[in-house]
Every structure is written in structure tokens, then in C-alpha cells.
Amino acid sequence: MRYWDEHMECMDRNTLQEIQLKRLVETVKRVYTSVPYYRRKMQELGIIPEDIKSLDDLKKLPFTTKQDLRDNYPYGLFAVPLSEIVRIHASSGTTGKPTVVGYTKHDIGIWSEVMARTLVAAGADKHSFVQIAYGYGLFTGGLGVHYGAERIGASVIPISSGNTRRQIQIMVDFGTTVLACTPSYALYLAETMEEMGIDKSQLKLKSGVFGAEPWSENMRKEIESKLNIKAYDIYGLSEIIGPGVSFECEYQCGMHINEDHFLPEIINPETGEVLGEGEYGELVFTTITKEGLPLIRYRTRDITALHYDRCKCGRTLVRMEKVIGRTDDMIIIRGVNVFPSQIESVLLEMGEVEPHYQLIVDRVNNLDVLEVLVEVSERMFSDEVKKLEQLEKKITKAIEETLGISVKVRLVEPKTIERSEGKAKRVIDKRKI
């Protein structure tokens, strides 16, 4: 088995929980004393640090949102004097100010450790050549992987993003064995390789760690076959630490959360209520070892579910499923949470239709109805009506099985669903009009 820190990664859960509680209590005390924002929030709720006596008491604490970070821009939530901060990263917001995060020397050490675990789980060791094609800079991707790869003693190739042909030449010449980039860039590299007439047999690549954007199982298969590697999903966000929050092991049955540093919860995004194991909801993290910017119950807006049973790899660290959507995209139909991404993955799985679709939600006789418009390909559309009807039934059944509610599927002609330059408009909710 491949572990970086077997002691922590495979620890008995009772012992782990003792460590988590000790660290949580310390963190709450620290933010209460050092961050006026948290002291005020806790006072408003009528709680003091001494009220946190068990992990279950976590739910008494206030949430933190991205907006709270923006409101305290740039350094308002830092818990140490600025002289202790050795690194600053920021995520560019599409709207408004960026979110600024600060690390102490100790925080950089934690980050290196969790990334070392991530890389080792993906098969890297000190003999590896790790090509980092994530962007370096304020974005946490490049430097996060960089420090982890150095920690395990691998040879780091800090090429950063872009310049695709040069990336490929270096991959061949330098004997890269591990690739780190976004999954879409991995596919782009594979396509460019074909254009350059370079065969995958010329590469020494064995595995890749891919993250920073959502990707499907189909995309994993495509990357694995085109680059002849094993593709690992990694998850992170700069507010919590950057990449290294969670990682896949060789069994690829969810991502192990480094929960000795980041305490996860799943909540109902509407009510804030904490949900149980296996239930889908919004992922929330409390950092329990960070010094620079400790965050209490940070709402990631990512929707997933947690699983606590022991993994085949031997790790006891909880696993989170692939993120299935964002709370911003969620629609509620007859009390059931629906994400456009769920429907998209059903359609991609079937492979017979274009991935262009639109959801129309309406209320008829006080009942919510969901209609799914799906574009068929030119080839399919020329087929006989009977075949189209069969396809419609097949899609309806597949979507209903996934969502657990009845839907009406309507196939539409090629190129009739409006294309958008930016984010596609997937949902038309007539209940709100």
C-alpha cells in the first residue's frame, strides 16, 4: 500500500476524533481571541469557546461564506500579525473583489504534507518526475502541487500552464512520470500530441493528478486511454488551503479528506441543518490546524455526500463523492433537489444525444413539473420516428432513475437549443416568472 503518513491516514477513528476535538477547541479559542469578526458572530449567537465540548458542538458555531471573506477584504479574517504571514494567494472572483488567503510558515508545512499524501496516493515517489502544468501565481494550483512534490523528494518540473507543444516536448525529453493540471488541459495535451505525431508510447507518464474543475467518469476514461495513465481526481479550494483538501486512492471510490486538518460537514443548503452520512448537501469545512486564516464552517457551495466506512486501501479518512453540482445551480422540484449536472451525466453516459439540453420547470395545478429538452444529433434525427420515440423513452427512464422523480423528456431538432458564449442557460424556471 502507498501511504505518505500511514499513522494519520489509517488511524483508528476514535483516536482521530480525539485529535480533531482537541484541534477544534484550540481553533475556536484562537479565532475568538484573535479575529474580531468571529468573536462578534459568536457573541451574537450567545456562545463562548468553552461551549465547544464535543465534535457535535460544531453545529453551534456560525457559518462563514465567501461574502464574509469579501466583506473583510483583504486581511480582516487573518488570525496572526501580518509579520507571521509568509505567503499570500488569491482567487479571482468573476464578480467583485478577489478572495485573499494568507499562510504562515506552519500553514505551508501542512499544505506540503497534505499534497505529499495526495501525490503518494497517486503513485508518486522520490523517483518521480512531476510536471506541474497548473498555473503558478496567485492561483494555488501550481505552488500547492510544487511543495508537495518537493516534500516527497520527487523531481519537480515547474513548467506552469500554457505553451502546449513545449509541454509535450518536455514531457518526452525529461521523462515526466506524473502530470498535474486541470482535466480539460490533460485532454488538450493529448489532442495536441496527436497533431504533433507523438505517440503515447513515447511518454513515460504513469499517472496524473487532475483537479480545479469538475469532470466526469467518461472524461477520466478518455484521459486514461489517450495518455495511457491512471487519472486521479484531487479536490481543494484556496479558502481551505488550495489543492490537497482531499484526494483519491488507487481504488478511486471517492476522495479521502485530510480530516485531521479539515473537518467536513454536509448541510442542507436551504436550512443549514447538518445531514447524515450518504446524504447529498453542501460541503462545509472547518480548518483545525491553520494559523494564518482559520475558517469556521466555511460553506464551499459544492454539493456532495460523505462516506465513513473503511476504504479498501486501508485509509480511515472519510471519503467525499465527486462534486455533483453547486448550490447556486440547485433547483427544487416537489421537494427533491435536482442539479443540471445529474441530467448532463445521464445524457453523456447514453452517448446517443448531443450534450445540449435545457430544463424547464413549471407549476401545473399546484404541482411542479420538469420538462427536459434534449437535442439529438443530425444522424439520429434523420432516423425513423419509432426509433426517436424509443430513445425518448430510454432517456426518460434513465433520468427518472437518477433523480427519483417523474420527468417529461422532449427530443428537439439539432441546434435548436440556444448556445451561449459563457455559461450555458440550462434552467428556465417558470415558477419564478
Residues that bind Zn ion (CB under 5 A): 249, 311, 313, 315
Nearer to Zn ion among residue 35 and residue 313 (C-beta): 313
Nearer to Zn ion among residue 131 and residue 246 (C-beta): 246
DSSP H helices in 278-377: 340-350
Q: Is 428 exposed, middle or buried (CB count within 10 Å of its CB: 0-12, 13-18, 19+)?
A: middle
Nearer to Zn ion among residue 124 and residue 409 (C-beta): 124
Cβ 117 to Zn ion, closest distance in Å? 11
Backbone φ, ψ for residue 344 (5° rounding): -60, -45
Nearer to Zn ion among residue 1 and residue 196 (C-beta): 1
What does the alpha-carbon distance between residue 61 and residue 67 come to, in Å, rounded to a whole number? 17
What does the alpha-carbon distance between residue 11 and residue 32 come to, in Å, rounded to a whole number? 30
Nearer to Zn ion among residue 249 and residue 361 (C-beta): 249
320 forms beta bridges with: 255, 306
182 forms beta bridges with: none
Cβ 253 to Zn ion, closest distance in Å? 7
Cβ 210 to Zn ion, closest distance in Å? 17
Cβ 231 to Zn ion, closest distance in Å? 16
369 forms beta bridges with: 362
Cβ 211 to Zn ion, closest distance in Å? 17
Nearer to Zn ion among residue 118 and residue 341 (C-beta): 118
Cβ 309 to Zn ion, closest distance in Å? 11
How far is CA 328 from its chain centroid?
A: 15
Nearest to 128 by CA among 109, 151, 112: 151
CA distances from 148 to 109, 115, 224, 297, 343 (A): 9, 4, 23, 26, 36
